[in-house]
Structures are given as structure tokens and as C-alpha cells.
Structure 1
């Protein structure tokens, strides 16, 4: 059965902007599985965000807002000592995937909402545990925040997250979001970067029409 592979990072602004387009696509293709591979946009960063970094980031965020129309709060990055390390948020998605692959996109979206809309610091374990456990529970996979944080902190999940980053590098992907169609081991790119839903449908249709099985 075909499935989509979504290579992204929950703290990537263009991934956030792309969210509604992906959701619209999936609503029109009920039952199509989606596997998330987390890319590690700024994984393991230790640099405290200074004003120059903030200005650069806000330039990107402004473009995302203008393109997508989505609200974007800078409350999280304005917190003193904020470090833009995307590994913890990526690890929350991987932890959710280990519990319920079908709910990993819901957790991915919930982390995005917490960061970009609510302005919460999703580099923090307690914030991620609260956000992810609520999203998983709402999706029918109940888990409390403490249990999720224990899983998130485990060596197994730390290593699985790192493995996603390695896979992304092996695929020579250095920009997000990227959406790939997988069929019988064959990988075909649907989009690299922000793309609106009608164009996604057109690209998927073209891939199907050009398939050797078509």
C-alpha cells in the first residue's frame, strides 16, 4: 500500500505554514498512511538566541505568515536564555510515533501550535510532555504527562531520534518540509518546501499516472 513520508521539524516555520496544506491533502485521501521522519533543523544547538538571530528568524517568520496567513507568536523566543534547539521537540514526535504511529502527526501539530500560537517553550521536557500526552489522549492513546516524559527521556527514544537525523542526512535533505510518496520501496518526491494543496494533488496524480503499474 502506498504511503507518504513527511520529513519535517516541528520547530521549522515553513513546516508550520505547510501544516494546513498537508491536512487538506490528507482529508481528501482518507486512509493514506503518513510516516514522519524528523529532520533536526537545529538539533543539539547550545547557542543562546541573541538579537541578531531573532531578527533573522523573524524575517523568515514574517514570510511564513504572509504566505500562509497563520498566526505566529514570538513569545517563546523572547524568553531570556532561549536556545533554539529543535532536538527535544523532534524527540517528542519520535516518542509519540513509538506509541502510536497514526497519532504522530497529531503530536507534531500540537507541538507546532504550542510553539507558534501559544508561544510556549517546546524545548522544555515538562511542556512537551503536557502537550504530547494531551494530543495522544485526544487521539485515543491515553498516556499521562509523567509517563510520556519518562519515555521521551529514555535512551531508546534519544537514539531513535538521532537515527532520524542520520537518515535525513543520508537522503541529502537539508530543507524542510519535504513530502515523499513511497510505493513498494520506490521513493518519489511530492514536494520540497511550502506548496499549496492543489499543487500537491497535481503532483501526486502525475506520479500515479507515470507509475509503471498505472
Structure 2
């Protein structure tokens, strides 16, 4: 039987994926290397070439407020007010794929860092320079990153991720899939945002492990 793993379909500019990032961190803290996580870019709005309208900004800000209320994570919506801002999710997704080439675990951390930069720190992660600077925080060579960033090879690899998500029937993010089981099949752990306790419960049941007892003070 193959080693169990999780496949995480996500997008760096998906606000509910940002909301789900502490859950991913808790999964990694709980299960460690016994349950590796592979990120696949879902393709939220790749190739969007129309500047964000005032109506769209208003709708996004309301949406982000819902995520904040559900998760408590900080948001700074000033990034949406940058002149001519394009909500094109392809550059950030491509950046994650580039980091994943070097290290799959590093790509999980980088994904979360992009989310923090965009949603909480008013950084424009549609820009290659910003993406390269953030990748350098994880030991990725900045010049090599930028040299690869506009290559057809990396673009095709990223769009192949989107195709994998579509073939898997993923229609929203985050989606977390686990497997293989004894029959070699994969199953959905969560489709859409869910808090940590029910997600961890599903994983413990699947793996036949016991959760750590709560510490009573």
C-alpha cells in the first residue's frame, strides 16, 4: 500500500484558502511527515486581463469580511485600490509551481506566505518582482526564479495543474483529498472551508490514529 498523502487544491488568491491556511498548518503539526501534503493549483481566475471594477472591489471586500469573521485572520483590502489592479491569479499560482519544483514542502509554506502578503500586508502578488522577493525568503534563488518565471515550460506546468483540478472534479477551493486507501482510491476530506477539529477528526479516523488528549488547566 502506498504511503497516505493529502492533495491540496488551492489558489494563492482564494480568500477561503487563506482562511484554511491555519488548518493546513495544524494538519502538518499533528501528522508531520507521516502525512505529506502536495499542493495543486486550482486556477481561480487565471488570465484575467480586466482591471477590477468598483463593484467587484466592493463584492470582494464583503467576501473577505466573511472570511475574517469565520477565521479571525487579518485583512488589508487596500491592495484592491492599487491603480489598474488585475485580479489575475495565474502569476501567483505559477510562482507556487516554481517553488514546488525545488521542494514540495516548501511550496506549502510559500503558498501561505503569499496569502499573508496579499491579504494582510497589501503586497501585489500579481507582480513577478514581489513573488521573487517572497520566494527568496525560503532560500529560492531570486535570479533563477525570475529567469524561469515567463518561460513557456513553467506556464504549461501551471496550466496542467488547472487541468488536473478540473479532471478531479474540483469546483471550489480549498479542496482537500486524501488517499490512497487499501483499494488505491482517494476520497474528499473537505470540499470548501472547514475548521480544524472536524478535518483532524476525519484524518484520525482514516489513519486509525488517536488525537492528543486535551490539556486541562
- TM-score, normalised to structure 2's length? 0.90
Task: Name the structure 2 match of 1:10.
Answer: 12
Runs in 1 of length 4+ with deviation above 6 angstroms?
Answer: none
Task: Name the structure 2 match of 1:140.
Answer: none
Q: Is the 8 A contact 1:188 1:207 kept in 2?
A: no
**What number of residue pairs does the alignment pair up?**
203
Which whole-Å CA distance do the structure 2 matches of 1:99 and 1:154 have between them? 16
Question: Secondary structure of 2:77's match?
Answer: coil
Of 63-72 and 98-107, more deviation after overlay is shown by 98-107
Task: Name the structure 1 match of 2:211.
Answer: none
Task: Name the structure 2 match of 1:203.
Answer: 202
Q: Unmatched 5+ residue regions in structure 2? A: 209-217
- TM-score, normalised to structure 1's length? 0.91
> Are 1:96 and 2:99 an aligned pair?
yes
How does 1:139-178 map onto structure 2 within 5 Å? Answer: 143-178=140-175
Quote the offset at 1:201 in angstroms: 1.5
How does 1:186-197 map onto structure 2 within 5 Å? Answer: 186-197=185-196
Q: Is the 8 A contact 1:19 1:109 kept in 2?
A: yes
Please provide the CA RMSD for this pair.
Answer: 1.2
Which whole-Å CA distance do the structure 2 matches of 1:153 and 1:95 have between them? 11
Q: Is the 8 A contact 1:75 1:120 kept in 2?
A: no
Which whole-Å CA distance do the structure 1 matches of 2:178 and 2:149 have between them? 28
Q: Is the 8 A contact 1:91 1:157 kept in 2?
A: yes
